[in-house]
Structure 1
Amino acid sequence: MLYEIATLTVKLGTAAKAVAGIGEYVGAAEAKGTLLGCWASEIGDLNQLLVLRCFADDKEWRTERERALRTTNPFNAGEAISQMSFDTYAPFPFLPPVAPGKYGSVYEIRTYRLKHGGVPPTIAAWEAAVPERGKLSPLSIAMYALDGPPRFTHIWPFASLDARAAVRADSVARGVWPPKGGPDWLTGDMRSIVALPTSISPLA
């Protein structure tokens, strides 16, 4: 299974129309893959829509990527989109597939750059730590990039920003997070976006 995050920077005031177009685009008869999440950025880079989809295999993913690259109206929101980028990921193998549902009113999407060779030890560290960390709040997905610089992205839902702060403080106080040994493989380049589920998001 492959995951993809499409990051769509949209013109001011066009987000609602763009979201409607995205819903139509990913639900079209010719569309491949499954929509899992669609969020609007709230903290971080603004005027962005982040679209998370999964694909059964490389053929399905490539067919859908070509569909986006060969049209003047990607995501049925071409007039609204000023910039568009794609990131392709493989899931950490110990995690179950993303399960749509209602988990929180805010989502944090974090990306960390890795040192060379950092993928296997990072997966091992997370596999050891996630069961205890997950008791405090759920993890939607953690996945490592298949293109671009070595990095991984993880997505967490929270009931609120206050709940996020409380859970993060509690996890550190209990010693269950960050994963033991995990930070050793980070370069220090870390990015985070707090985003809100849109009306079409299966992760809400």
Structure 2
Amino acid sequence: MLYEIATLSIRFGTAAQAVAGIADYVKAPDALGRLLGCWTTDIGDLNQILVLRGFDGAASLIAERERALGTTNPFGCGAAITALTFDSYAPFPFLPPVEPGKYGSVYEIRTYRLKHGGVPPTIAAWAAAMPARGRLSPLTLAMYALDGPPRFTHIWPYASLDARAAIRSDAVAQGIWPPKGGPDWLTGEMRSVIGLPTAISPLS
């Protein structure tokens, strides 16, 4: 399984139009992949929609990428889009595939830049730490980038921003988080976005 996050920067006031277009685009007869998440940004870079899709392998991901690149109306909302980026990922291998469901009203999508060679030790650190961390709150997905600079992205659902703050503080206080040895491989360049599930998001 491979994953893609498409980041659509949109004109102010066009979110509803864009989400309707995305819904049709991902269900088109020639569409590949499975829609897993669709969020509007609420904290972080605003006027963005993040679209998470899963693919059976590289061939279907590339074919779907080419479909988007070959049209003036990507995601069915080209008129609303001011910028469009794609990130391709492989999941941390110890994690199960993402399953749609109701997990939280807010999602945090965090990306960390890694030092060279940081992918294997980061996966190992997370594999050791997640059993305890996962008992505090679920992890939707952790995955490392297959293109661009070395980095990984993790997605967490929370009932609220207050719940997020409490759980993260609890994990640190218990010594559960961050994963032991994991920060050693970070460059310090980090980015976090809070996304709100849209009406079409299978993850909600």
**TM value normalised by structure 1:** 1.00
Which whole-Å CA distance do the structure 1 matches of 2:196 and 2:108 have between them? 9
Give the CA deviation at 1:43: 0.2
Which whole-Å CA distance do the structure 2 matches of 1:50 and 1:146 have between them? 18
Stretches of structure 2 that go unaligned for 5 or more consecutive residues are none
Find out whether 1:41 has 2:37 as its counterpart: no
Find out whether 1:166 has 2:135 as its counterpart: no
Give the CA deviation at 1:140: 0.1
* Post-superposition CA distance 1:136-173 (Å, at most 9, x none): 00000000000000000000000000000000000001
Which whole-Å CA distance do the structure 2 matches of 1:155 and 1:131 have between them? 16
Identity %: 74
Opposite residue 112 of structure 1, the aligned amino acid is Y
**Corresponding residue for 2:196?**
196
**Corresponding residue for 1:94?**
94
**Corresponding residue for 2:176?**
176
Opposite residue 173 of structure 2, the aligned amino acid is A
Opposite residue 161 of structure 1, the aligned amino acid is L
Aligned-partner SS, 1:63: helix
Give the CA deviation at 1:186: 0.2
Q: Tell me the matched-pair count.
A: 204
Which whole-Å CA distance do the structure 1 matches of 2:76 and 2:48 have between them? 16
Which whole-Å CA distance do the structure 2 matches of 1:12 and 1:183 have between them? 37
Stretches of structure 1 that go unaligned for 5 or more consecutive residues are none
**Corresponding residue for 1:140?**
140
**Corresponding residue for 2:123?**
123
* Post-superposition CA distance 1:9-45 (Å, at most 9, x none): 0000000110010010001111000000000000000
Which whole-Å CA distance do the structure 1 matches of 2:14 and 2:156 have between them? 26
Give the CA deviation at 1:62: 0.8
**Corresponding residue for 2:4?**
4
**Corresponding residue for 2:66?**
66
Q: Cα RMSD over matched residues?
A: 0.4
